Amino acid sequence: MGKTGLKLIDENGIRIDGRKPDQLRPISMDVGVLKNAQGSALVSYGKTTVLAAVYGPREALPRHMTLPDRAILRVRYHMAPFSTTERKSPAPTRREVELSKVIRESLEASVFTELYPRTTIDIFIEVLQADGGTRTTSLTAASMALADAGIPMKDLIAGVAVGKVNGKLVLDINEAEDSGGEADMPVAMMPNLGKIVLLQLNGTLTRDEFKEAMKMSIKAIKEIYLIQKQTLRDKYAKMTEEEKEE
């Protein structure tokens, strides 16, 4: 039993939503979903759905905030009031402010900010529906939105969370597993470069469990990375077809 009293894994190793321990939730991605943004992406990991929009590079206001050698990334992570089962206050919480900073620092590792001195790149992240793993879904969506905006990056970022439930490691945890499990480890990386840009751990893992959790997350991130690249390819293939028809 988990902390919530729910049986999160049965005797056959099947999780509460029918998945095996090492199985991702169904993932869907789309880019270019907002016409008014330079870049946008809609990403779902199971029931967790995140919309990300990028505006810029544009002149930084007020000007005293500008940096002479690079662009400033400004990230706003926000959970919509209707994103959870109980209505959430629209005012930013301490957790949202903290995650905005965590996501910004992760994205700064991938963006060539030095190409756009004295500007800002604004990234708005809206969690439309929350069911666990919102920070990793948000990072994946934000990276896609940046790519859609044509912002040069070292690599795309993809993320996933590994949890420990009833003493067993499970991949891509949902809300029930997050709240009822013993550990939650969000991981995000630039897969092509093999560089980790986010690694957090809530709870405790043994040394061996940590190594196994990292293996699980890296394998899954590579799968998510393939979906990211295919989604972007599909968009540009469609644009090329439309141009030919014109």
CATH of domain 27-241: 3.30.230.70
Tokens of 214: 């990292």
Asked if 81 and 93 touch (Cβ cutoff 8 Å), the reply is: no
Coil, helix or strand for 39? strand
Tokens of 39: 């870049």
Asked if 42 and 33 touch (Cβ cutoff 8 Å), the reply is: yes
Please report, for the chain, the start and end positions of each structural domain, with discontinuous segments joined by +. Answer: 27-241
**Would you give per-residue pLDDT tens digits along the chain (246 residues)?**
445 456 888 888 899 999 999 999 999 999 999 999 999 999 999 999 999 999 999 987 777 778 889 999 999 999 998 888 777 777 888 999 999 999 999 999 999 999 999 999 999 999 999 999 999 999 999 999 999 999 999 999 999 999 999 999 999 999 999 999 999 999 999 999 999 999 999 999 999 999 999 999 999 999 999 999 999 999 888 877 777 776
User: What are 126-155's pLDDT values in tens digits?
Assistant: 999 999 999 999 999 999 999 999 999 999
Query: What single letter denotes the amino acid at residue 183?
Result: A
Question: Whole-angstrom Cα distance, residue 182 to residue 178?
Answer: 8
* DSSP state letter for 111: B
Phi, psi of 158 (to 5 degrees): -130, 145
Contacts of 54 (CB under 8 A, 6+ apart): 37, 38, 39, 40, 121, 122, 123, 124, 142, 145, 146, 148, 149, 151
Asked if 180 and 169 touch (Cβ cutoff 8 Å), the reply is: no
User: What are 155-186's pLDDT values in tens digits?
Assistant: 999 999 999 999 999 999 999 999 999 999 99
pTM over 0.75: yes
The helix or strand, by DSSP H or E, that contains position 179, with its residue range, turns out to be helix 175-180
